[in-house]
Amino acid sequence: MKLNIAVLSGDGIGPEVTDQAIKVLKAIALEFDHAFLFKEALVGAVAIDAHNNPLPDATLDLCKSSDAILFGAIGDPKYDNNPSALVRPEQGLLKLRKELGLFANIRPVRAYDTLLDKSPLKAEIIADTDISIYRELTGGIYFGEKKLSDDGNTASDLCEYSRYEIERIAHLAFKAAQTRRHKVTLVDKANVLETSRLWRKVVTELKSEYPDVALDFLFVDNAAMQMILNPRQFDVILTENLFGDVISDEASVIGGSIGLLASASVGDKYALFEPIHGSYPQATGKGIANPIASILSAAMLLEHFELHDEAEMIRTGVEKSLKLNITTPDLNSIYDNVTTSKVGDFIADFISNPNDTSINFSNIHLGQSTII
């Protein structure tokens, strides 16, 4: 298969983790005889620095003419600490989501057996967790009208949803549940918010089209608690934009590191793949950022094009790296010299030598990129 992939690595650790995803995709292309062509463009703070625009036209054009987008991270402390900044890196990502109609953000959350002790939550609580979060991504309070009074003392953000916006993502969530454990949990705040009551009504109506899927409801405050009390109860979580943002960061604690959580943002025409973590500016250039979320996002990209064996190969490589402690310091208490790039090398090497059953601690030379 031939794929044109736009690479928007963005800010902070974005470029270093995205490099590892590209490395792994190149290994897949070689092994499975595909042609992946990568073209880079600026987004976020780096684009503001270069063009005073977090999403330059050239970047948007490249995305529109590509088959898929690999996204890194966005954000810079110099904007976070300046509430009066008119241009912000995050606007680049939000505009991209809107312009490309990426209305569904899918965030898988798993507890890996080998990492159960890395989570601050008890192993018996998180074991076997397997959740797929469907977060609405182009509506709600993120995109409603924003106001600030002339005296600067009153502000508001409008939260608006239409039936159509709810229906299109709800269909995807129900369909996903049909391939999983047949359960959708709608997370909302229907005891307070009108938009949430509309979500409940519309989703309940749609449910009749999916008789084999059970639907239940949780208020978001309760859902936040249930997520760490009993995460195994969840199969597919369906929720609106802001609740999904918050719940998915919380859910990352289950996996042991936010550096593991990948995501796909899809619409009718375009698809973008990105780790859920941010730009982690304190770690930039230190080689300590975990590239696995980015690498697993690349696996989701392949899955999107029905390249199932290829995606599975990446996931197996990731599991092997976790098992052998070829991981960055957020997960590693054994080796202190495993860098971002070495994790990428290991997984790419695994793809090139999948049948090398001799992979074990002693024959992995951590100082080099190859398995000897």
Catalytic residues: 142, 189, 221, 245, 249
**Which of residues 31 and 90 has its CB atom nearest to ligand IPM in the complex?**
90
Residue 244: name the closest of 137, 109, 162 by CA. Answer: 137
**Residue with the closest Cβ to ligand IPM?**
90
Could you tell me the sign of the dihedral formed by the alpha carbons of 84, 87, 93, 99, in that order? positive
**Which of residues 74 and 220 has its CB atom nearest to ligand IPM in the complex?**
74
**Which of residues 281 and 287 has its CB atom nearest to Mg ion in the complex?**
281
Q: How far apart are CA 133 and CA 217, in angstroms?
A: 14
Q: Contact 351/320 with Cβ under 8 angstroms?
A: no
Least spacing, CB of residue 260 vs ligand IPM, in Å: 15
Q: Which of Mg ion, ligand IPM, none has residue 90 at its interface (CB below 5 to 8 Å by kind)?
A: ligand IPM
Q: What is the DSSP string of 48-92?
A: HHHHS-SS-HHHHHHHHTSSEEEEEE---HHHHT-TT-SS-HHHH
Strands 183-188, 35-40: pairing kind: unpaired
Q: How far apart are CA 10 and CA 280, in angstroms?
A: 12
Least spacing, CB of residue 125 vs ligand IPM, in Å: 24
Q: Which of Mg ion, ligand IPM, none has residue 56 at its interface (CB below 5 to 8 Å by kind)?
A: none
Q: Which of residues 62-101 bind ligand IPM (CB under 6 A)?
A: 74-75, 90, 93-94
Strands 236-239, 262-266: pairing kind: unpaired
Q: What is the DSSP string of 165-198?
A: HHHHHHHHHHHHHHTTTSEEEEEE-TTT-HHHHH
Which residues of this chain interact with Mg ion, rule CB under 5 A? 245
Task: With CB under 6 A as the rule, give the number of residues binding ligand IPM.
Answer: 7
> Hey, what are 61's tokens?
């054009």
Least spacing, CB of residue 55 vs ligand IPM, in Å: 12
**Residue with the closest Cβ to Mg ion?**
245
**Which of residues 16 and 245 has its CB atom nearest to Mg ion in the complex?**
245
Q: Contact 182/235 with Cβ under 8 angstroms?
A: yes
**Which of residues 246 and 371 has its CB atom nearest to Mg ion in the complex?**
246
Strands 236-239, 183-188: pairing kind: parallel
Q: Which of Mg ion, ligand IPM, none has residue 93 at its interface (CB below 5 to 8 Å by kind)?
A: ligand IPM
Largest CA-CA distance found in the chain, in angstroms, rounded: 69
What does the per-residue mask of binding to ligand IPM show for 234-273, with x meaning CB under 6 A?
A: -----------x----------------------------
Least spacing, CB of residue 199 vs Mg ion, in Å: 20
**Which of residues 252 and 332 has its CB atom nearest to ligand IPM in the complex?**
252
Using alpha carbons only, how large is the chain's radius of gyration in Å?
Answer: 21
Q: Which of ligand IPM, Mg ion, none has residue 136 at its interface (CB below 5 to 8 Å by kind)?
A: none
State which of residues 104, 238, 258, 276 lies at the interface with ligand IPM (CB under 6 A): 276
Residues near ligand IPM (CB under 6 A) are 74-75, 90, 93-94, 245, 276
